């Protein structure tokens, strides 16, 4: 049975690409109000595609861009919820694109390596279509899909899933399932599949330090007036000690230690600083000194300054002491770290370092808890076996350093654990000019999902 499905995917590859290209041509940039009609057009496109396959599909309104909800029940079979997003990032700077971002094309990067280039090719339209095309192949060859299926495609993921958590809560009865599936992650390398078993949580704050009531002449006031940039720089510097540990009191409460056998597996993956950091012009890890690089980037908590502003930043010189300086600070969380407690501890940490005649405003941009999958989750084992069968290499199971807040909502609102399987690569230039998606990721991604659906429905996936 699975061989017929896989054969259909192979022979229909050109048509699958054509459908993906049609969707990629729609500039569904969610953050730009001028593209709101395009976001709705992208939603209607995928609704129509799913409806043509026999799904009960509709476009549903939220407080922001609409979602697409599609159902294909299968009584007596397990039921899964698949999630993806149709919105994309802005394309700036446009002059760095080698081809128009919304005119997708096949490009040969190297002999034998062809890629799909265009905004959304990887994040997330190409990834979503690997799943939809797998469903299409099952329908075409077997007349149905091995599991009951609900598909949820949102239009605001690049805007923090604005409006979706409330929509989930209001429509939870329509979203009942045994587990959720997400295809918005990546592979270990071009030939090795990966299942993401944890996601870091997030706390995001902005601090604004105010000293003088205006910018001052540094010749007249320098040495006497407090400089908010200095105050801010000291706060940021104090956030880490000499060993790379975060110094906010209580920050490591709830951080678990990784079992030795798992550390041994990670060590065997051979992630070296020279390779991982070398691709961005660096070579020395900057995290906790007593931790492997692979721990630093996915299983340990972090603190980073994401932006710092103050004083004169234009061309040339202007000798001023700023009246105000600000910084954006983010924390990535793991295990059972509590976003609220960390926010409170950080606020106290900052306020304790504000001089008496200065003030600070702290802006809260929200937070989310980390997500960990149970290693004995049946769907996880089935997905791993199916991926291993397709790629001929054992699927790696490892955490992600990033955050996908909606996965937390699936757990807290719907009670669902999520299996995260994606086929993106580190060099896909997601959010950057010349975004791409390897043709092998697209093709074998479809085949992988076909096998996973088979396994979840009680087959072997092989």
Task: Tell me what pLDDT residue 101 has.
Answer: 98
The residues spanned by each domain of the chain are 2-199+370-456, 203-255+301-367
51: three-class secondary structure by DSSP: helix
The token pair at 278 is 């070398």
Average pLDDT over residues 23-40: 97
Residue 261's pLDDT band (boundaries 50, 70, 90)?
A: confident
Give the Cα separation of 335 and 422 in Å (integer): 22
- H helix or E strand, kind and range, residue 320: strand 320-321
pLDDT at 280: 85
Tokens read off for 132: 């939809």
Mean pLDDT, the chain, integer: 95
The tokens 């492997």 sit on which residue?
292
Among residues 323, 333, 270, the alpha carbon closest in space to that of 302 is found at 333
Residue 49 is classified by DSSP as H
- The token pair at 445 is 């991604």
Q: What pLDDT is recorded for position 461?
A: 74
Q: Say if CB 448 and CB 422 are below 8 A apart.
A: no
Quickly state the pLDDT bin for 49 (edges 50, 70, 90). very high
CA 217 to CA 312: how far, in whole Å? Answer: 12
Neighbours of 41 (CB within 10 A): 16
In whole angstroms, give the CA distance from residue 162 to residue 168.
Answer: 11
CB atoms near residue 156 (< 10 Å): 22
The rounded distance, in Å, linking the Cα atoms of 17 and 133 is 10
Determine how many CB atoms are found less than 10 A away from the CB of residue 33: 9
84, β-bridge pairs: 153
What is the spatial distance between Cα 462 and Cα 451, in angstroms, rounded to a whole number? 6
Dihedrals phi, psi of 393, to nearest 5 degrees:
-140, 145
Residue among 181, 189, 185, 188 at smallest CA distance from 199: 185
Q: How confident is the model at residue 1 (pLDDT cuts 50, 70, 90)?
A: confident
CA 49 remoteness from chain centre: 25
Band of the pLDDT at 259, cuts 50, 70, 90?
confident
pLDDT value at 462 more than 80: no
Q: What is the mean pLDDT of residues 48-64?
A: 98
Question: Could you tell me if 45 and 23 are in contact, meaning their C-beta atoms sit under 8 angstroms apart?
Answer: yes
- Residues 330-358 have a mean pLDDT of 96
Fold of 203-255+301-367: Alpha-Beta Plaits (3.30.70)
pLDDT above 80 (res 184): yes
State residue 402's pLDDT score: 80
Whole-number pLDDT of residue 212: 97
According to DSSP, the β-strands at 216-217 and 320-321 are: antiparallel
The residue that leads in pLDDT, 259 or 192, is: 192
Q: Would you say 83 and 181 are in contact if contact means Cβ atoms under 8 Å apart?
A: yes
Summarize pLDDT for 337-346 with one digit per residue, the tens. Answer: 999 999 999 9
Taking the C-alpha atoms of residue 99 and residue 118, their distance in angstroms, rounded to an integer, is 8
- What pLDDT, on a 0 to 100 scale, did the predictor assign at position 18? 98
Q: What is the pLDDT of residues 391-421, one digit of tens each?
A: 999 999 888 888 787 898 999 999 999 999 9
Quick check: 53 and 19 in contact, CB under 8 A? no
If one looks up domain 2-199+370-456 in CATH, what number appears?
3.40.630.10
Q: Dihedral angle at the C-alpha atoms of 417, 423, 427, 433, nearest 10 degrees?
A: -90
414-440 confidence digits (pLDDT tens): 999 999 999 999 899 999 999 999 999
How does pLDDT run across 134-182, given as a tens digit for each residue?
Answer: 999 999 999 999 999 999 999 999 988 999 999 999 999 999 999 999 9
Confidence (pLDDT) at 401:
85
Q: Per residue in 273-282, pLDDT tens?
A: 999 999 889 9
User: What pLDDT shows up at residue 55?
Assistant: 98
Closest CA to 369 of 407, 326, 324: 407
Encode pLDDT of 78-137 as tens digits. Answer: 999 999 999 999 999 999 999 999 999 999 999 999 999 999 999 999 999 999 999 999
Give the model's pLDDT for residue 144: 97
Query: What band does 374 get if pLDDT is binned at 50, 70 and 90?
Result: confident
pLDDT at position 400 is: 87
In contact, 296 and 304? CB cutoff 8 Å: no
Question: Nearest 5°: phi and psi at 339?
Answer: -55, -40
Choose among 152, 7, 9: nearest CA to 79.
Answer: 152
pLDDT of residue 372: 85
Burial of 411 (0-12, 13-18, 19+ CB in 10 A): middle
User: Picking from 22-31, 92-101, 299-308, 453-462, which range would have the lowest pLDDT averaged per residue?
Assistant: 453-462
Over residues 195-251, the pLDDT tens digits come to: 998 899 999 999 999 999 999 999 999 999 999 999 999 999 999 999 999 999 999
């Amino acid at each position: 049975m699975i061989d017929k499905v896989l054969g259909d995917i192979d022979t229909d590859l050109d048509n699958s690409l054509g459908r993906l290209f049609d969707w990629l041509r729609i500039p569904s940039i969610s953050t730009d109000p001028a593209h709101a009609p395009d976001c709705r057009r992208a939603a209607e496109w995928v609704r129509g595609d799913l409806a043509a396959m026999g799904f009960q599909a509709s476009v549903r309104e939220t407080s922001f861009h609409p979602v697409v909800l599609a159902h294909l029940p299968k009584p007596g079979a397990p039921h899964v919820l698949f999630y993806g997003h149709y919105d994309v990032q802005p394309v700036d700077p446009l002059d760095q694109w080698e081809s128009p971002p919304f005119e997708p094309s096949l490009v040969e990067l190297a002999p034998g390596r062809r890629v799909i280039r265009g905004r959304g090719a990887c994040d997330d339209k190409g990834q979503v279509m690997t799943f939809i095309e797998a469903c299409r192949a099952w329908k075409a060859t077997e007349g149905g899909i091995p599991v009951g299926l609900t598909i949820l495609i949102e239009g605001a993921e690049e805007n923090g899933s604005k409006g979706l958590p409330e929509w989930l809560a209001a429509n939870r009865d329509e979203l009942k399932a045994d587990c959720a599936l997400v295809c918005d992650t990546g592979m270990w390398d071009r030939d090795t599949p990966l299942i993401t078993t944890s996601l870091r949580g997030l706390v995001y704050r902005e601090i604004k330090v105010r000293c003088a009531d205006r910018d001052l002449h540094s010749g007249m006031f320098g040495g006497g007036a407090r400089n908010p940039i200095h105050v801010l720089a000291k706060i940021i510097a104090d956030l880490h000690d000499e060993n790379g540990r975060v110094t906010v009191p209580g920050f490591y409460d709830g951080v678990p230690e990784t079992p030795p056998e798992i550390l041994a597996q990670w060590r065997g993956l051979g992630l070296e600083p020279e390779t991982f950091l070398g691709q961005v012009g660096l070579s020395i890890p900057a995290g906790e000194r007593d931790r492997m690089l692979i721990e630093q980037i996915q299983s340990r908590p972090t603190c980073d300054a994401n932006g710092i502003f103050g004083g004169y930043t234009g061309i040339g010189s202007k000798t001023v002491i700023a009246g105000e300086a600000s910084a954006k600070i983010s924390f990535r969380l793991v295990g059972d770290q509590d976003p609220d407690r960390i926010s409170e501890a950080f606020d106290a940490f900052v306020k304790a370092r504000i001089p008496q005649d200065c003030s600070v405003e702290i802006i809260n941009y929200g937070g989310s808890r980390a997500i960990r999958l149970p290693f004995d989750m049946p769907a996880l084992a089935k997905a791993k076996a199916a991926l291993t069968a397709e790629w001929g290499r054992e699927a790696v199971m490892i955490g992600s350093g990033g955050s996908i807040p909606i996965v937390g909502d699936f757990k807290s609102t719907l009670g669902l654990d999520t299996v995260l399987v994606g086929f993106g690569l580190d060099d896909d230039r997601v959010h950057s000019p010349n975004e791409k998606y390897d043709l092998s990721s697209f093709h074998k991604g479809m085949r992988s999902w076909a096998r996973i659906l088979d396994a979840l429905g009680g087959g072997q996936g092989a």
